[in-house]
Amino acid sequence: MKVRLLVPSVAPNSRLHFPFSVLIDDHIAIDTCGLPYLDPIEAQRAVDQILLTHSHIDHVGGLPLFLDNTYRPDHSCPTIYASEATWDAVSKHLLNDVIWPDLEKIADSETPFFKKQIVDVHRPISIDGYQVTAIPLEHVVPTLGYIFQGEGASVLFCWDTAPFPEFENIVAAIPNLKAIFLDASFPNELRWLAEKSEHTTPGQFGQLVAQIPADVRIIAIHLKPGHHDELIDELNQLGLPNLEIADPHTVYEF
Ligand SMILES: [Zn+2]
Ligand SMILES: [Zn+2]
């Protein structure tokens, strides 16, 4: 499994976690904000499976522009997976004929812009050789984490969440777990904001991963760009030997 953190290419040398996508094997994406800036357009057209975690703008905001960039009238459209709650929000508030055209409606009898799939939690689906299982996270709107199980390696993608009690059991049940991409959004002094918006601080992050075996790579992600350096300092102070900060310039292999 090849994983990249895809941030807008308008900042090619930056390490900041601007609203992003995670790209798996160059053709599966989780969330959308890195996608519409991927150059060349052929690299965008190669992305044919997209999973949405939730409805917040820093996760679905790239979707209209990506579909606009990649549409071709030849049935090669991407499949998009999301929970029913996220699809409802996207229909009502994004592809709603105000913020962006209702692409399902305007395609009508023409070739579609996307194929819509509803994801249920704890019900594995098969995507290009991976068994993908959605898990419910603890966030202010319904939000999914995704477990990808491939041959000999599993990875948990888990951002936009407050700490939640089932985390440890979910992690313990994943076979061949090699890595967890885990939310670290706000510095410790903004714990009140992390709590109200249901994200994770480095202090909480340390408690969450305390029981995870040291051979699992813990990769901090969703560091709010305005607090990037402070978050890195606080995460490094945890002294975790298996901690990494997600880096847009690294290709992760599992
Ligand atoms: Zn977010
Ligand atoms: Zn969110």
Total Cβ atoms within 10 A of residue 249: 11
State the amino acid at position 201 in one-letter form.
Answer: T
Report the distance separating Cα 223 and Cα 220, nearest Å: 7
Q: How far is the CA of 224 from the centre of ligand 1 (A)?
A: 9
Please give the pLDDT value at position 11: 67
Give the closest ligand to the alpha carbon of residue 33: 1
Predicted TM-score of the model (pTM): 0.97
Residue 23 makes CB contacts below 8 A (sequence gap 6+) with 3, 4, 5, 6, 29, 34, 47
Give the closest ligand to the alpha carbon of residue 185: 1
**Residue 62: both structure tokens together:** 């790239």
Residue 96 phi, psi dihedral angles, 5° rounding: -120, 15
**Helices 202-209 and 228-236, axial angle in degrees (round to 10):** 40
Please give the pLDDT value at position 109: 83
CATH number for the domain running over 2-253: 3.60.15.10
Please give the pLDDT value at position 54: 98
Please give the pLDDT value at position 24: 98
Task: Kindly list the domain boundaries of the chain, sorted by start residue.
Answer: 2-253
> How far does Cα 46 stand from its chain's mean position?
18
Q: How far is the CA of 15 from the centre of ligand 1 (A)?
A: 17
Residue 235 makes CB contacts below 8 A (sequence gap 6+) with 184, 202, 205, 220, 243, 245
Q: How far is the CA of 94 from the centre of ligand 2 (A)?
A: 15
Give exposure, 92-103, as e/b (b: 16+ Cβ within 10 Å): eebbeeeeebeb
Report the distance separating Cα 153 and Cα 126, nearest Å: 15
Q: How far is the CA of 54 from the centre of ligand 1 (A)?
A: 9
State the amino acid at position 33 in one-letter form.
Answer: C
Q: How far is the CA of 54 from the centre of ligand 2 (A)?
A: 7
Q: How far is the CA of 146 from the centre of ligand 2 (A)?
A: 15
Q: How far is the CA of 74 from the centre of ligand 2 (A)?
A: 34
Give the closest ligand to the alpha carbon of residue 183: 1
Q: What is the pLDDT tens value at each position of the chain, 254 positions in all?
A: 999 999 986 667 889 999 999 999 999 999 999 999 999 999 999 999 999 999 999 999 999 999 999 999 888 899 999 999 999 999 999 999 999 999 999 988 889 999 999 999 999 999 999 999 999 999 999 999 999 999 999 999 999 999 999 999 999 999 999 999 999 999 999 999 999 999 999 999 999 999 899 999 999 999 999 999 999 999 999 999 999 999 999 999 99
Report the distance separating Cα 34 and Cα 48, nearest Å: 15
Please give the pLDDT value at position 192: 98
Give exposure, 173-204, as e/b (b: 16+ Cβ within 10 Å): ebeebbbbbbbbbbbeebbeebeeebbbbbeb
Q: How far is the CA of 223 from the centre of ligand 1 (A)?
A: 9
